[in-house]
């Protein structure tokens, strides 16, 4: 027999095995098939794979969105005087500001430096009050923060920042103020008297309202022109820190090391450099740990769903004992029998995985629309920004996450079919005919 004949015979056998597997898989229960169990297994694999993809997309989206909000509404690192960290009141005088700025400009990655005054004060209006963080900043520096000049939503004109203050939209709603409204700020760092420091209260006009999409920023942050901040907080000649923007914030660790080395050249002074990863380290680490934990948990769910395939195949082997014996007597090898049942079990896993990937991708792509529909039908809020910081559910589908979920589901589905398939191939045809 030539190679061509052998190849054709092999293809014929494989085709016949596929037909038998399909027939066994979707035959009626009365005929010894696996119809109901197959559907249950298929649905289980589909839903578990889809859920795994959605969870991965949300977790990655949450991290990406959180980082983008950090980088879009904040500096990438800050330089403090060591005495400010220890004593809380010893900031950077004008001379030090100039020296630090010159040193920072020598670092290739640095694209901008900005002096900052930051204080926690009480904001009040006729509608309420709230504790807020006030950032004293120069107008040209404010315009270099992407999410402040191009926020999700905006009211007023940022070009009028010098005429008033800029506040977050959630804070504006809490205080019941709009553009051109006045709010009162009360600072504990007021005038110095013989009896100590007295609080200072001043009214400021709201000239700009922004929404960056992070609740902790939109509900607590106020930006004030530097000239006004120096007067209000008694900082005639000093600032709290120097904020820095860099061209590659994802490699901030290397840049931080370069800046530390540069600042060490300033004699008689010690500085603390605090970058955005250090400031958000606990939250980012928690996100990474949670994502990995959820991936492991839902991989186990995929395993549990796929285990139904084993029980189904065992039932099928039991019901098809006589068929297996007949196939063996007419010339089917043990390997062919094993292949038939392996194909039957694998089809459930493969089809379930494909459907799960499609469902998971569709659900992730239209998650916001689904959220709006659920909120419309049942009322209330599905996503609470006060708890989760972001104003909407973030979703980020990555090819690597889809492939990892697909690989896990396929590997599990294929591996668990081996044992019942081997059991079917090991049946004695004589015993099968006797007890069939």
pLDDT band, very low/low/confident/very high, at 7 (cuts 50, 70, 90)? very low
CA dist 422 and 310 (Å) reads: 12
222 and 289 belong to one structural domain: no
What pLDDT is recorded for position 29?
A: 53
106 and 62 belong to one structural domain: no
89 and 122 belong to one structural domain: yes
Least confident range from 103-107, 274-278, 330-334: namely: 330-334
pLDDT band, very low/low/confident/very high, at 370 (cuts 50, 70, 90)? confident
Radius of gyration of the chain (CA): 33
pLDDT mean over 395-404: 89
58 and 97 belong to one structural domain: no
- Tell me whether residue 184 is in a domain: yes
247 and 125 belong to one structural domain: yes
What pLDDT is recorded for position 360?
A: 92
User: Which distant-in-sequence residues (6+ apart) come within 8 Å of 267 by Cβ?
Assistant: none
pLDDT band, very low/low/confident/very high, at 85 (cuts 50, 70, 90)? low
- What's the domain count of the chain? 2
* Structural domain that includes position 342: 3-67+283-435
- Tell me whether residue 72 is in a domain: no
What pLDDT is recorded for position 191?
A: 63
- Tell me whether residue 11 is in a domain: yes
CA 62 to chain centre: 2
pLDDT mean over 368-393: 66
- Tell me whether residue 402 is in a domain: yes
Q: Cα separations (Å) of 204 from 9, 179, 224?
A: 88, 11, 9
Percentage of the chain beyond pLDDT 70 is 83
Mean pLDDT across the chain: 80
What pLDDT is recorded for position 5?
A: 44
Q: Which of 276, 294, 319 is the last residue of a domain?
A: 276
395 and 346 belong to one structural domain: yes
209 SS3 class: strand
Residues 10-25: tens digit of each pLDDT: 444 556 777 777 777 6
254 and 185 belong to one structural domain: yes
- Tell me whether residue 368 is in a domain: yes
Q: Which of 242, 276, 310 is the last residue of a domain?
A: 276
Using the predicted structure, report yes or no on whether residue 44 has a pLDDT greater than 90: no
220 and 91 belong to one structural domain: yes
The token duo for 110 is: 């640095």
CA dist 307 and 313 (Å) reads: 10
- Tell me whether residue 244 is in a domain: yes
- Tell me whether residue 155 is in a domain: yes
Residues 333-357: tens digit of each pLDDT: 788 878 888 888 888 888 889 999 9
422 and 316 belong to one structural domain: yes
Residues 190-214: tens digit of each pLDDT: 666 655 667 788 999 999 999 887 7
Residues 164-195: tens digit of each pLDDT: 999 998 899 999 999 999 999 998 776 666 55
134 and 24 belong to one structural domain: no
Q: Which of 249, 276, 303 is the last residue of a domain?
A: 276
- Tell me whether residue 297 is in a domain: yes
93 and 17 belong to one structural domain: no
92 and 240 belong to one structural domain: yes
């Amino acid at each position: 027999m030539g190679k061509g004949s052998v190849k054709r015979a092999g293809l014929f056998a494989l085709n016949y095995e596929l037909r038998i597997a399909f027939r066994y898989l979707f035959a009626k229960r009365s005929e010894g098939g696996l119809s109901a169990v197959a559907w249950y297994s298929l649905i289980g694999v589909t839903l578990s794979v889809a859920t795994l993809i959605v969870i991965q997309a949300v977790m990655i989206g949450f991290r990406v969105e959180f980082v983008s909000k950090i980088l879009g509404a904040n500096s990438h690192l800050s330089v403090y005087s060591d005495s400010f960290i220890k004593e809380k009141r010893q900031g950077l005088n004008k001379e030090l500001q100039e020296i630090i700025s010159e040193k920072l400009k020598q670092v290739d990655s640095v694209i901008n430096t900005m002096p900052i005054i930051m204080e926690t004060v009480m904001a009040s209006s006729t509608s309420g009050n709230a504790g807020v963080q006030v950032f004293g900043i120069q107008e040209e520096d404010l315009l270099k923060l992407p999410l402040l000049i191009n926020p999700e939503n905006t009211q007023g004109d940022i070009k009028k920042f010098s005429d008033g203050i800029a506040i977050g939209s959630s804070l504006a709603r809490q205080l019941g103020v709009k553009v051109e409204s006045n709010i009162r700020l009360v600072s504990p760092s007021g005038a110095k008297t013989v009896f100590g420091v007295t609080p200072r209260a001043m009214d400021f006009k709201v000239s700009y309202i922004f929404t960056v999409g992070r609740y902790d920023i939109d509900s607590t942050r106020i930006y004030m022109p530097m000239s006004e901040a120096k007067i209000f907080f008694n900082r005639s000649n000093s600032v709290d820190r120097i904020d820095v923007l860099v061209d590659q914030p994802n490699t901030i660790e290397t840049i931080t090391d370069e800046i530390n080395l540069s600042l060490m050249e300033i004699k008689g002074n010690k500085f603390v450099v605090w970058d955005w990863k250090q400031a958000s380290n606990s939250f980012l680490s928690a996100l990474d740990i949670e994502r990995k934990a959820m991936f492991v948990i839902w991989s186990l769910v995929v395993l549990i769903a796929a285990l139904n395939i084993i029980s189904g195949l065992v039932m099928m082997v039991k019901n098809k004992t006589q068929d297996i014996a007949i196939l063996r007597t007419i010339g089917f090898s043990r390997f062919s029998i094993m292949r038939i049942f392996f194909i039957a079990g694998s089809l459930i896993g493969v089809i379930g995985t494909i459907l799960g990937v499609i469902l998971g991708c569709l659900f992730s792509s239209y998650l916001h629309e689904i959220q709006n529909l659920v909120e419309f039908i049942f009322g209330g809020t599905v996503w609470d920004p006060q708890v989760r910081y972001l104003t909407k559910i973030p979703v980020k589908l990555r090819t690597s996450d889809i492939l990892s979920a697909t690989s896990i589901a396929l590997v599990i589905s294929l591996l668990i079919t081996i044992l019942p398939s081997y059991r079917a191939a090991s049946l004695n045809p004589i015993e099968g005919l006797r007890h069939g």
